[in-house]
């Protein structure tokens, strides 16, 4: 009995403090650091009420769990300009990251691979560059990943397809080249695959006809070649497939 108390009281106190005004927890200092590296307009005025005087949980765009740890960072369409700091990888309970429609540039730091709770990541409409990092494969809880409309180059790593819970993968409007890896067949929940406007080439791998969850496949404006196999009939949930403006010749004859 005494033991139970001595453990639960400090946890409870921490939780209470973090839900009220002054919780200088690690997540808060990470986000203040992040803010210090970002500008948003010529006057360099941060557009949000992020201040060390109030709990991080009460800041615009932030959601916390019951323990006062940050679980969501929603900062879409705020014209933010800067790089994605490696220390964001310390927000270890983050499950939602939406920074769509800003001007983040530079590479994605590998420390983000520590965001093991991440379920949704929307970095669409930014200017991120470099390769799409293979460590995305470590984010096995991720269900939604959009890198639409960035400056990513290089090929699609086969390691990415370890994201076994992924339902949406959107890499449209980048500068990706090379093949679509046959490991695409390892994504048992994939519903939406969007690759429109890249420079991807070679035939679509046969393994895709194993992804029975697939509903939408968009290959438009690429250099894919070959033909679509008649095994496409196995994909009973497929509603939309786009192959225009590629070198795909059509559906394989019977």
Ligand X SMILES: *[C@@H]1O[C@H](CO)[C@@H](O)[C@H](O)[C@H]1NC(C)=O
What residues make contact with ligand X under the rule CB under 6 A?
49, 54, 58, 60, 76-77, 98, 100, 105, 110, 113, 120, 122, 127, 129, 135, 138, 144, 151, 185, 206-207, 209-210, 221, 223, 231, 234, 245
Per DSSP, which regions of 120-186 are E strands? Answer: 120-122, 127-131, 144-146, 151-154, 168-170, 175-178
Looking at beta carbons only, is 8 or 225 nearer to ligand X?
225
CB 50: neighbour CB atoms within 10 A? 18
Beta carbon of residue 3, minimum distance to ligand X (angstroms, whole number): 35
d(CA 213, CA 235): 7
To the nearest 10°, the Cα dihedral for 163, 168, 171, 176? 50
Residue where the block lists tokens 């530079």: 106
Beta carbon of residue 67, minimum distance to ligand X (angstroms, whole number): 19
CA dihedral sign of residues 138, 140, 141, 143: positive
Q: Do 235 and 213 touch, CB atoms closer than 8 A? A: no
Looking at beta carbons only, is 171 or 209 nearer to ligand X?
209
**Burial label, 45 (beta-carbon count in 10 A; 0-12, 13-18, 19+):** exposed
Beta carbon of residue 63, minimum distance to ligand X (angstroms, whole number): 11
The three-state secondary structure class of 233 is helix
Smallest Cα–Cα separation from 158: which of 130, 135, 190?
135
To the nearest 10°, the Cα dihedral for 239, 213, 182, 132? 90
Looking at beta carbons only, is 135 or 171 nearer to ligand X?
135
CB 250: neighbour CB atoms within 10 A? 8
Output the CA angle 154-158-159, nearest 5 degrees.
Answer: 105
Looking at beta carbons only, is 65 or 106 nearer to ligand X?
106
């Amino acid at each position: 009995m005494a033991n139970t108390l001595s453990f639960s009281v400090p946890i409870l106190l921490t939780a209470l403090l973090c839900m009220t005004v002054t919780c200088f927890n690690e997540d808060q200092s990470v986000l203040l650091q992040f803010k210090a590296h970002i500008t948003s307009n010529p006057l360099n005025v941060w557009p949000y009420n992020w201040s060390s005087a109030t709990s991080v949980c009460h800041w615009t765009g932030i959601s916390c769990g019951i323990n006062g740890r940050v679980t969501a960072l929603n900062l879409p369409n705020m014209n933010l300009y800067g790089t994605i700091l490696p220390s964001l990888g310390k927000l270890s309970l983050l499950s939602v990251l939406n920074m769509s429609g800003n001007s983040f540039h530079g590479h994605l730091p590998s420390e983000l691979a520590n965001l093991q709770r991440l379920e949704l990541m929307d970095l669409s409409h930014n200017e991120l560059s470099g390769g799409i990092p293979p460590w995305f494969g470590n984010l096995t809880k991720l269900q939604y990943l959009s890198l639409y409309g960035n400056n990513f180059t290089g090929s699609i790593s086969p390691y990415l397809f370890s994201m076994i819970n992924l339902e949406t993968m959107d890499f449209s409007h980048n500068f990706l080249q090379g093949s679509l890896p046959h490991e695409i067949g390892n994504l048992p929940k994939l519903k939406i695959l969007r690759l429109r406007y890249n420079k991807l080439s070679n035939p679509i791998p046969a393994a895709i006809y194993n992804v029975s969850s697939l509903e939408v496949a968009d290959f438009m404006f690429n250099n894919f070649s070959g033909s679509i196999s008649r095994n496409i009939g196995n994909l009973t949930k497929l509603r939309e497939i786009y192959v225009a403006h590629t070198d795909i010749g059509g559906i394989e004859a019977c």
